[in-house]
Amino acid sequence: MMPNAKPQSAAAVDHEATAVTVQKAPVAVVAVDRREFVRFPHLYRVLHACMIVSFLTLAVTGLSLKFSYTPWAAGFSRLLGGFETAGYVHRFAAIVMFGTFTAHVIGLFKQKRHNQTTWKSILFGPNTLLPTKRDGQEFVATIKWFVGMGPRPQYGRWTYWEKFDYFAVFWGIVVIGSTGLALWFPVFFTRFLPGPFINVATIVHSDEALLATGFIFTVHFFNTHLRPEKFPMDTTIFTGHMPLAELKRDKPREYAALLAAGELEQHLEEPQPAIVVKTIRVFAWIALSIGFSVVVWILYAMIFAYR
Amino acid sequence: MFASVARRASGSRLLTHVEKTESRIVEVSLTPVCKNSAAACCFAGSPRPRRRYVGGKLALWATLFLLSVSFVTPCSATGPTSDDCLACHSDKSLTTKRGGRTVSLFVDQKKFAGSIHGSLQCTNCHADLDGKDLPHSTPLAKVNCGSCHGDESQLYAKSLHGRAVARGDSLAPRCVTCHGNHDILPVKDPRSSVAAMKVPFVCGQCHREGTPVQMNRNIAQHDILENYTESIHGEGLLKKGLIVAANCASCHTAHSILPHTDPNSSINRRNIAATCTKCHANIELVHRKIIRGELWEKQANALPACVDCHQPHKVRNVFYSQGMADADCMRCHANANLKSADGRPMLVRVSEVAGSRHMKVACSQCHSEVNASRVRPCETITHPVDCSSCHAEVGQQYQLSTHGQMHAKGDTNAPSCKDCHGTHHVLGKHAPESLTFPTNVPDLCAKCHREGHKAALVYTGVEHQIIPRYTESIHGKGLLKSGLTVTATCTSCHTAHRELPASDPESTVNPRNLPSTCGNCHHGIEEQFVQSVHSAAVTKTDKPLPVCNDCHTAHSIRRTDQDGFKLDIMTTCGRCHGEIAKTYFDTYHGKVSKLGYTKTAKCYDCHGAHDIQKVTDPRSHLSRANVVATCQKCHSDATRRFAGYLTHATHHDPKKFPFLYYTFWGMTALLIGTFTVGGVHTLLWLPRALQMRRELRAAEALEAQAEKNSGPTDSDAKDEYDA
């Protein structure tokens, strides 16, 4: 999800053919090598964790108000110390998320400076997070693969669904954040906007939040964690590490590019200590559980308890 | 009778002239003139100017006059004239001995002349002197007033007094005892000895404590004059000078005085009502329970007589404490073993009655069918006690109530007076031990209205668990926990005696009357309410308008400043304002309320509670002039534009709120679109992902096998997959 904006000096080339041939040499060399591919730098691991915490907090506190007509909502609200406390927590989490967003943007600038690259190469290079023509082709190819009409596409560093997730958050933060501010400071906003704008803001805020939570806790969770080949979870975003085999399998094009550029070595690190991985798994499990619970709650509220 | 009066009147006019004329003659001649033929008498009575010129013409006149008068005047033909009598009897020192006592024989000529009999001759009354020469022999016969006053005399003769005289009772009064002799004045004359004001004293001469009559004759009453003087009648007559107030003669009659045991007596039980109603006309209107119309007069024996309650001579402007003596009743009813025919204990504890509200009420005032003339006075009782004989108004209310109606139909479940008030130990509602003391009322009503008890069993309305709900209500807590006796209890709303179901338009708890019922205590609220849009006085509609209990409930009324009431108010308002309440819950205020918190605005915070007006009404809290201030109650920095926030916005109404409607559906479309794409993508992926997983597992197994065979070398097998 987070862009690894490390400069890729080699142009994006289709290494599919050569990958098979060249991959054997280094692997053979590092046959006992336990090192893993570093997909996410520390900042993004931390930011994703912050996102998880703030997003779950926002979801639970916000949805308890949205679905106030369900019995669970009142329970949550009590658990959180009442609607006012829930409100404070919600707004605090919002600040954390704004902070995460800001940190990410600042991180982009820092990365650019650190890697002494240009915006052009970041935005339009082979590892860009912006949608490209290739993403469209890969999407079509993927659908074909799904229906058995073609092979699995050779995905690069960022698949189209990862890009979608990334921009969904971007969009979400802008939309939910701005309307949230209007609800936070209604008197200020109604100085220059009509009163019913607050009503509109309420609808947008709440429905967009529903979209965000619903999407993250189902599609994102599946795409990233629940896919059978990764089941029950993919810890890459937490550890930052990806087994090399997985890189080869999931991101063959990136792997090939790295190999071709001979840069793979600099992206390899020893695995995280077992305790760290364990801790991460516990954290991730909690987050996943909350997410799934929220999905159940939403489904219940939308389908069974809706007035 | 009329004729005789006319005769007497014309005679007296004539005789007045005679007397005047003749006294002049007496003065002049100082000799007894005119041995008094009627002619001379009448001649002398002719007009004065003519008297001096006696001539033939005059003689003719006189003769004619004489003839005319002689037919109408019973003037004795002979005997001494009054002047003749006064010749001696005007002497103040004229006395005689009678029965060993010296009696004055002086006749005050002036007083006699001023008396009603002043025009009569002495011999008209002292008839035994008629035609006799003077000086006459003594003693004279007793004057017979009956010769003129025949009716009175007859009545007197039959009366207690008359009969006493007849049997020679020396203490018995004669005419003269009351009326005097030569100075008798008309009854209407205030100076008369029998003028209304003086009657008590005339009678009191004998009938007061210490007199021979009172001491020696069998007279049951005591302190008659004293009691009378202090009675309402005596007070009226003597203190207030109301000569229409009853005096002795008003009840006992003037001449026909008889003992009350005499059936003809005006004060006999049979007659006393008629006697009293001579003045107290229509008194049955205030005693209707006792007397049931004419029964009062027709069957006085079946009813208490006036004097059973209003004791003779002591008649007060108060309730009466004694009729038939309670002691008579207690002769039997003090017996603890006394049982009625159907086995009910008939013991009456004096202490119970003595400590009760009816401590001054006699048994027979309630058990009114007693007949004092029976050995067992109560054997004539056929009906239970009817409290309404005194408590008429309350009784009437009771009869209108559901309780009373059921009772009238003979429903044994229906409570009568005694079920709530008790019997002999009736206490006022202000006595804390009383069954009807405010804090005891809920328990009292609960005897029947508690769930499972007789009233609750037949009740078909919607109110259930009335007693426990009331107990937990603000009224119940105020009354029973805080002991505030002013707190509303059952009777405060349902009334004590006129309970009616709420469906009855006359009921105090009928929606029509409820505001004023609650307003008895919550007056300020009522004032606001009656001007509000919910008041029937303001809004004319066929739909039912809410009244107090629609929001506050009937029996489980809660404190309005506590969460329970605050949170339920939206549902309450929503019972009528369903749509608008629903939309309230779509906004922040409503959602927070739904979570169970009361801090956000609820219906009444914006619309007002009892002073709700249409929002178009300038008085409304939400009118253009007031809305900002209303918002500022919570949002202290609210502005007019802020107040434009739609607190009842709904995104389901494209006409009213198109921007909300389209925003909502836009968002929903986005939502559905995204989820559809994401969902389909995921579902399509699933089989492939499963396939990948299987292959991966197979590769792993292969690798593990290879590793087992050749030791840990490489992961070629696995890598093969990626190729």
pLDDT at position A98: 94
Residue-wise pLDDT for B650-686, tens only, equals: 888 899 889 999 999 999 999 999 999 999 999 999 8
**Given an 8 Å threshold on Cβ–Cβ distance, is A146 in contact with B688?**
yes
DSSP-derived secondary structure for A222-272: IIIIISTTTTT---HHHH-EE-HHHHHHH-HHHHHHHHHHT-GGGGEEPPP
d(CA B518, CA B524): 10
Q: What's the pLDDT tens digit per position in A3-26?
A: 444 444 333 334 433 444 444 444
B188-202 average pLDDT score: 86
Q: How far is CA B572 from the centre of its chain?
A: 42
Of B590, B644, B696, the CB nearest to A195: B644
Interfacial A residues in 47-106 facing B (CB < 8 Å): 64-66, 68-69, 73-74, 77-78, 82-84
On chain A, the residues whose CB falls within 8 A of the CB of B696 are 229
The pLDDT score that the predictor gives to residue B454 is 87
Q: Read off the pLDDT of residues A31-40 as tens digits, 9 standing for 90 and up.
A: 567 889 999 9
- With the CA atoms of B702, B705, B711 and B716 taken in that order, what torsion angle do they form, in degrees rounded to the nearest 10? -10
pLDDT digits (tens, 9 = 90+) for B454-508: 888 888 888 889 999 999 999 999 999 999 999 999 999 999 999 999 899 999 9
Residue B98, SS3?
A: strand
pLDDT > 70? residue B589? yes
- Rounded to an integer, what distance in angstroms lies between the CA atom of residue B552 and that of residue B522? 13
Please tell me whether the peptide bond between B259 and the residue prior to it is cis, using omega within 30 degrees of 0: no
pLDDT at B58 over 50: yes
The CA-to-CA distance between both ends of chain A, in Å, stands at 37
Nearest to B509, CA basis, from B477, B550, B469, B479:
B550
Burial class (CB in 10 A: 0-12, 13-18, 19+), B152: middle
Q: What is the overall mean pLDDT for chain B?
A: 80
* Strand partners for B339: B345
Q: What is the dihedral of CA B375, B377, B379, B382, to 10 degrees?
A: 160
For residues A46 and B715, the model is more confident at A46
Residues of A in contact with B685 (CB under 8 A): 146, 222-223, 227
Q: For chain B, what are the domain ranges?
A: 2-145, 150-383, 391-554, 559-650, 658-722
pLDDT at B310 over 90: no
| Residue-level pLDDT at B295 | 58
pLDDT of residue B19: 41
Residue B716 has pLDDT above 50, yes or no: no
Query: Rounded to whole angstroms, how far apart are CA atoms B557 and B560?
Result: 9
Asked whether the beta carbons of residue B637 and residue A143 sit closer than 8 angstroms, the reply is no
User: Does position B29 have pLDDT exceeding 70, yes or no?
Assistant: no
| pLDDT tier at B324, thresholds 50, 70, 90 | low
Phi, psi of B41 (to 5 degrees): -55, -50
pLDDT at B30: 37
A207 touches B: beta carbon within 8 Å? yes
Please name the residues between 145 and 184 in chain A that touch chain B, using a CB distance below 8 Å: 145-147, 152, 161, 183
CB < 8 Å to A19, chain B: 722-723
Closest CA to A267 of A286, A252, A247, A281: A247
Cβ separation B645–A231 shorter than 8 A:
no
**How far apart (Å, rounded) are the C-alpha atoms in residues A270 and B388?**
106
Taking CA–CA distances from B645, the nearest residue in chain A reads A195
Asked if A222 is an interface residue toward chain B (Cβ–Cβ < 8 A), one would say: yes
| Chain B positions in Cβ-Cβ contact with residue A199 (cut-off 8 Å) | 587, 645-646, 649, 657, 660
Q: Count Cβ atoms within 10 A of the Cβ of residue A93 and give its class: 0-12 exposed, 13-18 middle, 19 or more buried.
A: buried
Give the residue on A whose Cα is nearest the Cα of B673: A211
H/E run at residue A38? strand A36-38
Contact at 8 Å (CB) between B345 and B338? yes
pLDDT for res B57: 57
- Span of A207-211, B47-51, B567-571, B647-651 with lowest mean pLDDT: B47-51
pLDDT of B344:
86
Is the pLDDT at B453 greater than 80? The verdict is yes
Model confidence pLDDT, tens digit, residues B610-623:
999 998 999 999 99
Q: What percentage of chain B exceeds 90 in pLDDT?
A: 24
**Do A183 and B588 lie within an 8 Å CB cutoff?**
yes
pLDDT band at B74 (very low <50, low <70, confident <90, very high): very low
Beta-carbon separation of B667 and A203 below 8 A: yes
Distance from CA of B556 to the nearest CA of A (A): 25
Q: What is the pLDDT of residue B79?
A: 65
Q: Which of B20, B67, B11, B16 is nearest to B39 (CA)?
A: B67
From A84, A143, A211, residue closest to B674, measured CB to CB: A211
For A83, which of B592, B649, B657 is closest by C-beta distance? Answer: B592
Q: Give residue A103's pLDDT band: very low, low, confident or very high (50, 70, 90).
A: very high
Residues of B within 8 A of A245 (CB-CB) are 715, 718-719, 722
Q: B669 and chain A: CB distance < 8 Å anywhere?
A: no
Encode pLDDT of B82-126 as tens digits.
Answer: 788 888 888 888 888 877 788 888 888 888 888 888 888 888 888
Two structure tokens written together for B689 = 């992902």
User: Nearest CA to CA, how far is B646 from chain A (Å)?
Assistant: 6
Residue B13 pLDDT exceeds 70: no
Report which of residues B565 and B40 the model is more confident about: B565
Residue with tokens 């209604």: A186
Q: What does the pLDDT average to over B496-521?
A: 92
- Residue A37, SS3? strand
Q: Over 90: is that where the pLDDT of B699 sits?
A: no
- State the smallest CA–CA distance between residue A111 and chain B in angstroms: 32
B302 versus A250: which is more confidently predicted?
A250
The residues near A124 (Cβ < 8 Å, ≥ 6 apart) are A130
Q: Which residue has the higher pLDDT, A181 or B263?
A: A181
Q: How far is A135 from chain B (nearest CA, A)?
A: 15
Report the pLDDT value the prediction gives residue B24, as an integer from 0 to 100: 40
Averaged pLDDT, A252-268: 89
Share of chain A above pLDDT 90, in %: 47
3-state secondary structure of B137: coil
Q: Which of A204, A229, A307 has the CB atom closest to B663's CB atom?
A: A204
- Inform me whether the C-beta atom of residue B639 falls under 8 Å from chain A C-beta atoms: yes
Q: Using the beta-carbon criterion (under 8 Å), do B591 and A214 form an inter-chain contact?
A: no
Task: Name the residue with tokens 């009655």.
Answer: B353
Residue B42 reports pLDDT greater than 50: no
User: What is the least distance, in Å, from the CA of A81 to any CA of chain B?
Assistant: 11
- Mark which residues 522-561 of B lie under 8 Å from A by CB: none
For residue A203, the distance in angstroms to the closest alpha carbon of chain B comes to 6
- In terms of pLDDT, which residue wins out, B382 or A253? A253
Q: How far is CA B393 from CA B180, B397, B399, B400, in A?
A: 50, 6, 10, 11
Q: Does B663 touch chain A (CB under 8 A)?
A: yes
pLDDT band (50, 70, 90) for residue B509: very high
Mean pLDDT, chain A, integer: 85
ipTM above 0.90?
A: no
What value does the mean pLDDT take over residues B415-444? Answer: 91
First-residue to last-residue Cα distance in chain B: 157
Size of interface A-B (CB pairs under 8 A): 159
Element housing B519 (H / E): helix B514-519
Residues A196, B692: C-beta atoms closer than 8 Å: no
Residues of A in contact with B638 (CB under 8 A): 187
Read off the pLDDT band of B298 (50, 70, 90): low
Residue A94, pLDDT score: 95
pLDDT bin (cut points 50, 70, 90) of residue A178 is very high
Interface test mutation site (partner A, options B571, B589, B637, B645, max chain A beta carbons within 10 A)? B645
How far does A112 lie from chain B, in Å, by closest CA?
A: 32
pLDDT category, B717, cuts 50, 70, 90? very low
How many other C-beta atoms are found inside a 10 Å radius of the C-beta of residue A189?
21
Among A61, A69, A203, the residue to mutate for chain B (most B Cβ within 10 A): A203
- Of A292, A204, A302, the C-alpha closest to B669 is A204
Residues of A in Cβ contact (< 8 Å) with B584 = none
CA distance A104 to chain B (A): 25
Please give the residue that has the higher pLDDT: either A233 or B299.
A233
- Do A194 and B641 make contact, defined as CB atoms within 8 angstroms? yes
Residues of B in contact with A78 (CB under 8 A): 596
Q: Do A28 and B660 touch (CB under 8 A)?
A: no
How confident is residue B380, by pLDDT bands cut at 50, 70 and 90?
Answer: confident
